[in-house]
Amino acid sequence: MKDLTKGKERNLILKFALPMLLGSVFQQLYNVVDSIIVGHYIGKDALSAVGASFPVFYALISLVIGLGSGAGIVISQYYGAKQNDKVQIAVDTMYIFMFVSSLIITFFWIIFIKDIFLLLKLPPEIMKDAELYLTITLGGLIIAFGYNGTASIFRSLGDSKRPLYFMIISTVTNIILDLLFVVYFKWGIAGVAIGTVISQAGAFASAVIYINRNHKILKIRFLHLKFDKDIMFKSFRIGIPSGLQQLFVALGMTAILAIVNGFGTSVIAAYTVAGRIDFFAIMPAMIFAQALTSFTGQNMGAGKIDRVKKGFRSVMIMSITVSVVLSIIVITGSRVLMKLFTPDEDVITEGMHYLRIVAPSYVLFAIMFSFTGVFRGAGDTLIPMFITLFSLWIIRVPFAYYLSADYGTTGIWYSIPLAWSSGLLFSLIYYFTGRWKRKAVVKIPLTDF
């Protein structure tokens, strides 16, 4: 495990972030490979079904993911403070919460899947595939929660390499299973979902086995997990704002999807593919921010606030640089990127339209997320939640709705940079108030920057 409280800040964060970035690239290859295989071997309708399923799936799991992130911050701060006994109990408590939550979500929401899609006015021609894909995916939710929780534990303790190794194996397995189930067995969209669940199960099992065989201060025994209500309360205090933020972000994505659905299957497919490309482009900024969260958590726990400021500056520079380069690549190569996923010209044209509007604003997203990384690592997740909700529900969703009436899909796509701009402005203001420095779980003396 990596101690982030000692050494050159920029080098530490970069070395910590690179394995996370590679891991996220391989993790997102799940979605990318699914979309490429579906687009070329099943068709545009099935591609739209996969795209329509994701915002709904994310809405169902987002609250739990946010609450789990609170546990990760608690673990990193206990580890930074060298309170190893509490690290073990915090890990046990997180697993209990994640597993119980996954069972509840799976049971209740599989019942309401069809009603949700009807509410979103999903086109009838993709309804059956979307329902089947999401049902299978939810069936493997306990596995998805288990793996992502375990990867979060590694990162909270300063180890970003092991999750990468497990994810590489899982991604290769997923590609092989997708080709086997879809191309050879002809299972259609069900084969894509089944391949993903099996691959995640392999990654989860591998990660747990590694921890139990190699870790010095931590063991995972699922039949002997211990629950600590005080640690759960601390995790909830930090995680509830983040969970609510993720939930309302997911609901916002679902609301945008409902608007997009009104423009037909080709636009839904274009939105799906462009979204995949979009996410790859903004992923480095998200990973740098995630690394900054772990860095900030450990250094706040160790009382080294001066290092937090230096780490923040390093992340800001790296994120902006990478985002500018990726913006240029996406804008100039939009047609080539879209054609990787589908041969349909209508889908390609609309996807290019989306990317050329959104890509120039990647740098805004990068700066905004750098601020968020510091806030969350310090244990201050409430204000970022309000900032996100404002930029999404006061800016993006209303603008997408009203502008689409006069400008069609152009109005929907322009709502994205408008939302990022507003989020950046409020994040900048809050950072300079300095209030986020008072939110650490481990109480430390504070000095001004």
pLDDT digits (tens, 9 = 90+) for 119-170: 888 888 888 999 999 899 989 999 988 888 888 888 788 777 788 788 888 8
pLDDT at 295: 85
Is 443 within the bounds of a domain? no
Give pLDDT, residue 279: 87
Are the beta carbons of 159 and 216 closer than 8 angstroms? no
Q: Is 1 inside a domain boundary?
A: no
Name the percent of the chain lying above pLDDT 70.
96
pLDDT of residue 441: 53
Residues whose CB is less than 8 angstroms from the CB of residue 200 and which lie 6 or more positions away in sequence, other chains included? 140, 143, 144, 147, 170
Phi then psi dihedrals of residue 218, to 5 deg: -135, 135
The pLDDT score that the predictor gives to residue 439 is: 57
Domain presence at residue 2: no
Q: How confident is the model at residue 381 (pLDDT cuts 50, 70, 90)?
A: confident
The reported pLDDT for the residue numbered 449 is 40
State which residues form the domain around 29. Answer: 9-438
- Report the chain's mean pLDDT, rounded to a whole number: 86
Domain membership of residue 3 (yes or no) is: no
Q: 61-77: per-residue pLDDT in tens?
A: 877 877 777 888 888 88
> How confident is the model over 260-311, as pLDDT tens digits?
998 999 999 999 899 989 988 999 999 999 889 888 877 877 777 888 888 8
**pLDDT, tens only, 227-267:** 998 888 888 887 887 777 778 888 888 899 999 998 999 99
CA distances to 194, 200, 301, 378, 382 from 439, rounded to whole Å, are 42, 34, 11, 6, 10
Lowest pLDDT segment from 16-30, 140-154, 166-180: 16-30
Tracing tokens 């689409």 back to the chain, one arrives at 404
Could you tell me the pTM of the whole model?
A: 0.76
Q: Give which of 55, 409, 396 is closest to 251, Cα–Cα.
A: 55
Highest mean pLDDT pick, 2-11, 104-113, 201-210:
201-210
pLDDT confidence tier of residue 442, bands split at 50, 70 and 90: low
Q: In the predicted model, is pLDDT for residue 447 greater than 50?
A: no
Q: Tell whether the model's pLDDT for residue 112 goes beyond 60.
A: yes
Give the residue from 323, 334, 317, 329 showing the smallest Cα distance to 365: 323
pLDDT category at 448 given cuts 50, 70, 90 is very low
Average pLDDT (310-322) is 92
Count up the domains in the chain and report the number: 1
Higher pLDDT, 364 or 22: 364
Q: Is residue 147 part of a domain?
A: yes
Residue 434 lies in a domain: yes
* pLDDT of 208 strictly over 70: yes
Q: How many CA atoms lie within 13 A of 80 on its CB side?
A: 32
Q: Is residue 159 part of a domain?
A: yes
Q: What percent of the chain has pLDDT over 90?
A: 34
What interhelical angle do 305-332 and 345-358 show, nearest 10? 140
Higher pLDDT, 210 or 245: 210
Position 44 pLDDT exceeds 90: no
- Helix, strand, coil percentages for the chain (3-state, nearest 5): 85, 0, 15
Q: Is residue 448 part of a domain?
A: no
Q: What mean pLDDT comes out for the span 333-360?
A: 94
Q: Kindly tell me if the per-residue pLDDT of 56 is higher than 70.
A: yes
Burial class (CB in 10 A: 0-12, 13-18, 19+), 114: middle
